[in-house]
Every structure is written in C-alpha cells, then in structure tokens.
Structure 1
C-alpha cells in the first residue's frame, strides 16, 4: 500500500489559522521588527497584502548588519476595474500618505500600493475600506478580483456583465470575520457554535482562483488565462447567456516541465441567472478535487488536466443538479485597448489613457498622476482599469468633456496614445525591486527594450502594426507573457527566455524560441524576424500567426511540450 502524500505546508497554516486570524494582530503590534512571522506572511495574503523588501538595498543593509528593508504591498480589489472619482482621489491620497507615491494598475484590474511600512499597514487598510473599497481576497488561496471587459462601445451589455461580475465577487468573498477584527476593529463575536466558511471550508482552496467575464469581440481581460471564465453571448443587444471556460492559468517553473501555462477549455453555456451558481460549483469542484500536496500542482488548470475537461464538466453538472447547455458561437478578434475618445451606444464618452507598465506617477516632464487627480475632482462618471494596465476615464457626459479635454492637454495626457503600436500593446509585471520571486527586471526594463525594437520596426515599416509584447521577471506569469506574440520571461539577472507565437486575440499559447537570451541580445534576436515578417506576411496576418507559419516555432499544444525549443538552427529568409 503506497504511503499517503503529505499535505503542503500551507494547508497546515490555514488549518491552524482560526479562519485566517493567525497571530497577525499580535505581529502588527510588535514594532521591534518590520516583518511578520512566516506563517502570518502567508495568511496576510488572504487579507490583500504581501510582505516584501527592497531588493536594491539588501546588500548594503546586510553589510551594515541591518534587517531587510521590509515593507508591504497592498492590493485593492476593484471588481470589473470600475472605481468612482472619490475612490480614485482616496487611492491617490493614500499613495502619498502611506505608500511610495505611485499607484500600480495591475493586469487584473486592481490598484496596488508598494512601500507601506508595518506601522502604517492597519491604518492604510482601514482607510481603504472607508473609501468603500476592500482588500480581502485580493490575494491568497481564494477567488481573486473578478475581471470584466470594460467595453466602452456596448454600455448596456457591459453594465449587465459588470453586474454579473459584482454578484460573483460578492458571493465568493470569504465569510470569516477575521478581516473586520484585525483591520477594522470589529468586535469578535463570541459564540458556542464554530465559525463557518460555507463555500471554502477551513482550508479554503488549494491555490488562488481567478475568474473573469469577456464581451466579444474584444478579449482585453485575457479570458483564456483564467481558472474560470464567462464569454458573454449577445443577441439583439442583450446578453442571453455565457459560454463557460475552465482551466486556464499562466504560472510555471523554469526547468520543471510538469509545470506549464494552459489556456482554458470552453465546456458549455449557462444563462445569466445561473452564472453565480455555476461560479460557486466550479469553485467547489476545485476545493474538493484540487491537489493539496504539491502547491506547484495545485492550480485548477492541473485539476482539469488530471481528470480531463469532460470529467470536469460532468462533475460541475453533478454539483449543479442540472446540465450546462452546449457552448454557443463567438469570436474574439483582439485583446488590446481602444485608445483616445470613443462614444458608446448611450451617448456617453470614454477616454482611454495609455499608462506604461501600469505605473501612475508624476515625473518632471509628465505629471500624469496630478492630472488624473484634477480630473477626478470634476469627473461625474467613473474610472475603469483595463486588463492591459491602462485607464479609461469613462462615462464622461457631454457637458464635462470639454473640461476633461482641457485637463488632459494641460497635463500632457491628450497624446498619451500617440506611441508605436508595439508600446501600446505592452505589459510588464512589477518584478524588481519589490517582488520576492523576480529573477530579472520587467517594469523598469521593458520600456528600454520597446524603444530598441521600435527602431527595428520603423526600419521595415511596421511601427503601426500591433504586436503584443509582455515581460515578466519570473515564470509565474503575472503579466501573461505566455499568450502574447512576444513574451520575455526572466531567468536570471539580465537574462530572459524568449517566447513567440501567441495568439493576437489571446487565444493561443506561445512557444519557447530561445532560452537564456542576454538582455543586450533581444534586439538582434528579433530584428531579422521583423524583417522576414515585413517581407513575407500575408495580408492581415498577425505576427504570432506568421512566426508559426514561417517555422520559427510550432503551434503549441497543452502541457509540458510548451517549454521545448524546436527552432531550426538556421532559417533562410
């Protein structure tokens, strides 16, 4: 009889935590260190925060026998990426008062602060909640921020999809009172009955869980990269239901072919009335059947692969007590944002602002953060964070448009999108200096790489051709590099694995083209491929499709084969 596998360490931490309390409250009160205990560092993720340190300062502090420069990242859940002007103003204020003076717009439509010291952590959390926002379940082994396509053209359809996203988010938010007790000074409820987590149970999920909703033809939320996704099926201007897709996910580990990115399988269709029920039951399937012995194998994508999509569908139907209908036809054409001004079907205006790397800050030549703060003071609509780290100043009324246009011009934002198509299609994760997992630069380096590649694209007349390009500091894939047409994944200081051939609409994985490329060689590696593409592409052929047709990489299949480099040593152009 084979020995039963030991549970992963995090499972024990959750069991002992008393529904996510641990000793966080006591750790916050201990000002002898800027850190929390190891167990509490894991638990605090469920509350929306990660302990980090400034890696740029590590060597110097070690030299002077000082502890690391600890600080905390806070992630604010923004369902569907929609925030009010008041929430923007408060987020901006908190960035100055407690964080490092910048706001990070994440690839999952959330706000992120960096550089918050432990003594300010509780107050920051409380003031976030006072602004009618929250951080619970922004991280941790639970359902994360629910994304929703912020399509400005289809206001009525988007509103319905947004309501569905909010309903899913509300339903799947953990029920524990720990968050209120620790951060909001809520009273601990004394009861003879044991506390319950009706959906998650005492050990929550095996790993994080991600849900999103997309409205075709735009896939700007990268639907296929998520554990559970819903594709809105629109008929006569109304959402008649949603196709259900399961098993997407980006993370992998260098050198371990048992770990790999995966794109989701579309397995069925549900009505709008069923979407919350379907969300819960899919989460329950992962709760009950996901791997709890190996965290590298614990994401829902591996549960789907281990059992097969047909088994997963049957189990979901069993939990539902009814069967999902067959999936309906749909089409995605791209996953980029639409920049500049657009008018929707209700007569409102929307301005999409390009935010490089998602970092909202002021520089001497570009006071973007100040400009957005001034716009928020007069704006009567809302702000929408996109899945591509950009920002939509949304639902601008006709009477306010002139005022907002004047502010855009005053602060240099009216031409934010007058960049190359490559730059407008770029995403970078935070990486160094704060992310503990980063092996190489991303947010601080990608703009330099794009500048070099722009010069090569200009030479061959491709400046205005959109090619999705993404860089991450490690293979966990937070910037979703594995479904971009060009993906660069940090392998070590100044070294990257280079992936090519992802689908332009985010519907196909890329393939490893070159391993361990020196940062200085990225330009020379891609330049001849750009030249070949400019000469030999078919009309309307996207870069990701071309590199497959031309033989640079093969079309990717699911699984470990993703990591294999099959590029011929020589290719005649």
Structure 2
C-alpha cells in the first residue's frame, strides 16, 4: 500500500479507520457470521459481522415505523436484512423471476420486490432464519448476491435501450465479464451460505487485497446517445464507440472519478462528475478496469471513509498523476477521446421494435417497487403471469423500470393484454412522473433522514398540477428525491434534486441538465414541502414564459441566473 496517498495530510502517518481492522481480521470476509447465524437470542448480527455481511450482499436494517413501539414494549427492534442480487447488466430470465417472486411473497416481511438504480433487485424484510434459504435459492437459479454491497466493485450496469439489441448484447456480455473478473475470490460466501467445504488458509485477493477497497466502487457502460446509466455517477465508466458498422463496438471512452454522495456540514465532501481519461480499444477494457481498481485500492484514503471514494483520490493526487499511473501499470496508452453526444437519459416506454425484429416493452415502475398493495395495479401478479408465458428475458433499467424483452410479433397482444388486466400498463402516466424517481428511505433504510419513496408519488401529483397550470403537460423535468445526502436516487445529477434533512424537510438543488452532465446547485436549505412547491411554481412559471425554444428547465434556471452552474464541484459546489 502506498502510504503517500493514504492520508489528506503530509505527515505520512497512517491511522486506519475501524472498518479496515474489521476487514483485516475477518479471515477473508468470514468473521463470525456462521456463529451469529446460530444465535437465536437476537434477530441480527454483532457490530462487526453486520459490516461483513455487506460483502455478501446484505444490509442489516430494522422497521423504523415500529421502532418506538417495540422499544416501549422492551422489545428488540424488528431487525431484518435487505438482500441485493448481483445481476450484471440487469438481465434476468422469467423462470428466475418467478422463483424470486414466490420467495418474496412467502418469506419476506413486505412481500415486495424493489428494482434499484444499480439495475438489480432488492428483497426487503428477510429474517435471519431465512437467510440461508434465499442464498440457496439464488444459487439454484444461477444467481448470487456476492459483492453487491461493501468495499468492493458493485453491480456493473449498462445501457438497457431495447432498440439497440445487438449493441446491448455486446455491452451486457462485457458487464458480466467485468463483474466476474473483479469479484472477491474468497470462498467465504459459499462456505457460510451454501455449506460448501471449508478451504484451508489459501484465500488470496490479488486484485482487491486482504482488506479489499477503501470504499465501494461502481462501474457503468453507456451506449450514446442514451445516458441511461448516468455515467458521471460512477467511479469508472466506459462509453461505447461504434465502428463504421453500427452493429459493432470498436472501443470505449474511459471516464474516472464520478460520485454523488456528500456529508452535510462538511464542505470537503461534494458530488463530482467523472473525468475523461481517453479512448481505448475493446480488448483493453478488463485491463483498464483492473488497473483503476488497484490504484484506488493502493492510493485511496483508508483513514477517513468520508474521503475514501475514487473521486477524492483523483482530486487529491490530480487527474494527470492518476491517469499516468493507469497507463504505467496497465501498459495501455489512452488515445484522445472519440467524439460522442448524449441526447437523453430516460427509458423509452411502451413498445419498441429492436433491430433484431423482436419487440420490447418498457414498463414504468414507480420508484421500482413491485407489489400488489394497490388493488388497481397488481404489479407482482401481472409481471408473474407474463413470466409464465414469456420466452425472452426481462431487463431491469438503471431508472428503476422493467423491460419485457424479446417478444415475438405473435406474442405482443397476449403480453399486453395480460399486463392491462392487472393494471400494470397505464396510458395516463405523465412524462413528469416517468422522469422522477426516489430512493427507498423510510421505513427500512437506517440512514434516511426524511421520506423519499413514500413521499414522491403525491409530491409528483402536485408538480403535475403546476406543469398543467402553465400548459407544460407534455414536458418533463428530471426530478429525484433521496432521504439523505448519499444520493442513491442520483439526485445530484437531476434538474431538481431533493435531499432529506429531517422529517418533512429537504435541501432543494436546481440546475442540473436533462442529459446528466451537470451537477445542480443548492438553492434553499432545510425547507418544507410547501416551501419547495412555492419555489418550483415560481421557477416553472418563469421557465414556461421565458425559455428559448425547447430549452430544458435545468438549462433555463442556469441561463436566467436563478442559480449559477456548478463548473468544478471541488472548488465551487458550495459557492453562493
């Protein structure tokens, strides 16, 4: 480990965070998880194992809606686990979906499936006695949850645009290759959850090291002109470049150092756009991915987890130094960036015909929550019934939506009629609602300061009324809400971003753009929903009257001076 880059000071004294000790002493992620599983006196794990199960794809949570009530009854909080599947590129087969759907209905507290912005699904409300069962099920289905949390490379995401079927297959295969290549090599997952034979002390982690990465690491692959994976939110992004033959990808532009989380009150933390490093050929993708990961492994800050992400390493050592080290270690020279343009980043809803002549149906899933809680919209029943008759695949998008992919012309009517029967397809969903999303927040996320998923639907109805008042029903503003400043719903790449401060109060950010290449600026801090609606009514009214042609809301509020554009977030994100 290169001590030169492990601290933010010049004293060269390394004081590791306690997470580093936990990882070092974990025996390659085993800890005492197996022993904790047999402890029936509590529904949870001890403090150290609660950190280690993240590397196995789970977070320990409790139901915050009943926390006070249980405390008054002298009961332990309703501890349960959230499990996140590893699903590179977001492709899942109907048979796999049906098995997951059935398990969620029978063995989770909430009976739902949650699609995420990392192009996979989460199960909330897993009790400790059912944990081995869910991992065994995943294994039987050819799936797992390895490295979907913790200080490792997370689920690799890629463009899900159904019209580009041939190109999508190429980037999906690449996403799977990157994911497999960067997985932890420890046998701990198989030993603990699948009762695999214990290995001797021969574990090694040639890429990740015995203490793994300083913090989580995210990778995305985009196919212009669609930026549906928000490339600037990732530690490492590959932007596909087509050859003269539009059905073939010849190489990738490489972007490094994106990340959106920050800490309230700490101006040394900030969201950051990724930096362009250059162009590489397709054959060098795995080598570059490994090299960027290992540099972050060696140079990342292991003393202060608030500054441990790749973006802070890049800003601390400098883009030029980091890029030169990538070239030196990999033996790959970056060529100048190939021109590329993003024109949109939303999902293409409804039926589209791919270049392979199969049809693809993109369904709007509000906040990614698939349930039967609304009797007029039985999402779980409808999607499960389609899964029983569908011979193609499902694609999960990075915007929390679902694509029924690879439908033959003969089966289109049957698929659509099934979904309409259960209210899954709704022709009255506005562009504004489709352009909005939220993180989970309450009641399950322990970090949530305010509501997000449960807040957004009614809030969007109020925004729809404002849009209608100014005759903007056909327009949309990228709007995202997160329950805390970690920006799991990527609020820091939206035109309107809300981040929770406390129950019923949010920070309001304005001025991102609709293609995801500009970070918004704080407009008002710690304000109520009514305050937010009054501000948005005023700014949307001005936008309707003063915009140039089809100028987006985010571009308008910057041009008009309502907010100043964030140019370099390390230096000017907190400027007034």
TM-score tier, shorter chain, comes to: over 0.9
Correspondent of 1:88 among 81, 90, 97: 97
CA deviation digits over 1:218-238, x for unaligned, max 9? 001111110000000012211
Q: Distance in 2 between matches of 1:489 and 1:147?
A: 24
Report how far residue 523 of structure 1 moved.
1.2
1:430-460 Cα offsets, whole Å, 9 max, x none, are 0011101000000000111111111011010
Match of 1:511 among 494, 501, 521: 521
Superposed, 1:107-118 pairs within 5 Å as 107-118=117-128
CA distance in 2, matches of 1:495, 1:322: 49
Please give the alpha-carbon distance, in whole angstroms, between the structure 1 residues aligned to 2:564 and 2:78: 45
Distance 1:414 1:434 in 2: 28
Per-residue CA deviations over 1:511-551 (Å, capped at 9, x if unaligned) read: 00111111232211210101000000001211110000111
TM-score w.r.t. length of structure 1: 0.97
Answer yes or no: is 1:382 the counterpart of 2:390.
no
User: For 2:225, what is the secondary structure of its paired residue?
Assistant: coil
Say yes or no: does 1:368 pair with 2:379.
yes
Which residue of structure 2 aligns with residue 228 of structure 1?
A: 236
Q: Secondary structure at the match of 2:66?
A: helix
1:556 and 2:566 matched: yes
Corresponding residue for residue 70 of structure 2: 61
Q: Deviations over 1:462-516 (max 9, x none)?
A: 1111210000000011000011000000011110000011121011101001111
Residue 252 of structure 1 pairs with residue 283 of structure 2: no
1:345 aligns with 2:355: yes
Could you say which residue in structure 2 is the equivalent of 1:97?
106
CA contact (8 A) 1:47 1:139 kept: yes
Q: Give the deviation of 1:563 after TM superposition.
A: 4.8
Paired residue for 1:398?
A: 409
Q: Provide Cα deviations, 1:203-255, integer angstroms capped at 9, x if missing partner.
A: 00000000010000000111111000000001221111000000000110111
Q: CA deviation at 1:558?
A: 2.7
Asked if the contact 2:301/2:307 (under 8 Å) is kept, the reply is yes
Q: 1:544 aligns with which of 551, 554, 573?
A: 554
Indicate the SS of the match to 1:439.
coil
Which residue is 1:166 aligned to?
A: 176
Distance in 1 between residues matched to 2:102 and 2:575, nearest whole Å: 48
Contact 1:511/1:562, CA 8 A, preserved across alignment = no
> Aligned to 1:215, which of 219, 223, 231?
223
Question: Take 2:470 and 2:11, find their aligned partners in 1: how far apart are those partners?
Answer: 61
Number of residue pairs aligned between Structure 1 and Structure 2: 563
Q: Secondary structure at the match of 2:84?
A: strand
1:525 aligns with 2:529: no
Cα shift at 1:3: 7.1
401-410 vs 143-152, greater mean Cα deviation? 401-410
TM-score (norm 2): 0.96
The alpha carbon displacement at 1:98 in A equals: 1.6
| SS in structure 1 at match of 2:149 | coil
Secondary structure in structure 2 of the residue aligned to 1:55: coil
Q: Residue 3 and residue 234 in structure 1: after superposition, are their counterparts in 2 closer, same or farther (change >3 A)?
A: closer
Q: Distance in 2 between matches of 1:39 and 1:462?
A: 52
Deviation at 1:420, TM superposition (A): 1.6
How far has the Cα of 1:178 moved from its partner? 0.1
Q: For 1:190 and 1:176, how far apart are their aligned partners in 2?
A: 11
Question: 1:571 aligns to what?
Answer: none
**Following TM superposition, by how much is the alpha carbon of 1:564 offset from its aligned partner in structure 2, in angstroms?**
3.1
> Which residue of 284, 288, 304 maps to 1:278?
288
**CA apart distance, 1:418:** 3.0
Aligned to 1:77: 86
Distance in 1 (CA, whole Å) between partners of 2:488 and 2:472 is 28
**Does the aligned pair in 1 maintain the 2:518–2:566 contact within 8 Å?**
yes
Name which of 24, 27, 45 aligns with 1:15: 24
Name the CA distance, whole Å, in 2 between partners of 1:203 and 1:533: 51
What pairs up with 1:90-239 in 2 under 5 angstroms? 90-99=99-108, 100-190=110-200, 194-235=202-243, 236-237=245-246, 238-239=248-249
Partner Cα distance (1:402, 1:18) in 2: 54
Please state how far the C-alpha of 1:399 moved relative to its aligned partner. 2.2
| CA distance in 2 between partners of 1:3 and 1:146 (Å) | 34
Question: How many Å separate the matches in 1 of 2:572 and 2:61?
Answer: 31
Aligned pairs for 1:422-437 (under 5 A) are 422-437=432-447
Alignment partners' CA distance in 2, 1:231 and 1:163? 15
Spell out the pairing of 1:394-473 with structure 2 (5 A cutoff). Answer: 394-415=405-426, 418-473=428-483
CA contact (8 A) 2:186 2:205 kept: yes
Question: Runs of 5+ in structure 2 lacking a partner?
Answer: 1-9
Q: How much has 1:560 moved relative to structure 2?
A: 4.8
CA distance in structure 2 between the partners assigned to 1:433 and 1:565 by the alignment: 34
2:503 matched to which residue of 1? Answer: 493
Higher mean alpha-carbon deviation, 398-407 vs 38-47, is at 398-407
Q: Helix, strand or coil: the match of 2:173?
A: helix
The question of 1:43 aligning with 2:49 is answered no
In structure 2, C-alpha distance between the alignment counterparts of 1:166 and 1:551, rounded to whole Å: 44
Q: What is the CA–CA distance in structure 1 between the aligned matches of 2:572 and 2:136, rounded to whole Å?
A: 44
Mapped to 2, the partners of 1:511 and 1:341 lie a distance apart of: 36
SS in 2 for 1:56: coil
